[in-house]
Amino acid sequence: MINTTAWNRIRYGLYAPVYDLVVERAFHDARRTALSQVAWQPGMRVLMVGAGTGLDLPWMPRDIELHATDLSPAMVRRLRQRAERLGRDVEARVMDAERLAYPDDHFDVVVMHLILAVMPEPARGLAEARRVLRQDGQLCVMDKFQSDEKPAGLARRGLNALTSAIATDITRQARPLLEAAGFAIEQDTPVMMGTLFRALLAHKA
């Protein structure tokens, strides 16, 4: 299996210097739309999982307690630099999304943008997100998903062998993943390329 945690740490370390050039403008509106679906309240404790270089920061309220993780040390360094430029207080840590070093029921909001289609075992990542989320907490997801109606066909699975190694998995389905992890979806909004990229807001079922 090419898509492993070790490989992701290496490749995102390599991507880090050019990541913003490729991703920032492309997902500008999608990030804003996804985060606008959250019912924000002052003082919320929020975790951004797989936060990359911190491109979500401009759309985050300023009256929250903000934590961020990423597998790549290079990404976390850039996230801290962005937070400093924006005047944001962010507790940023290098961490595997499938093994979060936080206690149960700790966060009001967990944000997972462009990570479920990347991590080797998204079910484990969602299980960890559910564990650290409070009972009335909100899960904010934005990613690329194929249709929920049927699994990927043979051609798409074949192409996925390449795309998952260099960029992202293209066979994952949002609703089956989230519901199997114990989430109920409140909002499901297409945000880019028709319905390929979707912003979902969910809570514990």
Q: Extract the tokens encoding 66.
A: 């903000």
Q: Give the model's confidence band at 3: pLDDT under 50 very low, under 70 low, under 90 confident, else very high.
A: low
Note the pLDDT of residue 88: 97
| Residue 166: band (very low, low, confident or very high) from pLDDT cuts 50, 70, 90 | low
Of residues 4 and 172, more confidently modeled: 172
User: Across residues 130-138, what is the average pLDDT?
Assistant: 98
Give the pLDDT of residue 170. 75
For residue 64, pLDDT over 60 is answered with yes
All structural domains of the chain: 5-204 (3.40.50.150)
pLDDT over 70 percentage in the chain: 92
Mean pLDDT of the 85-91 span:
97
For residue 1, pLDDT over 50 is answered with no
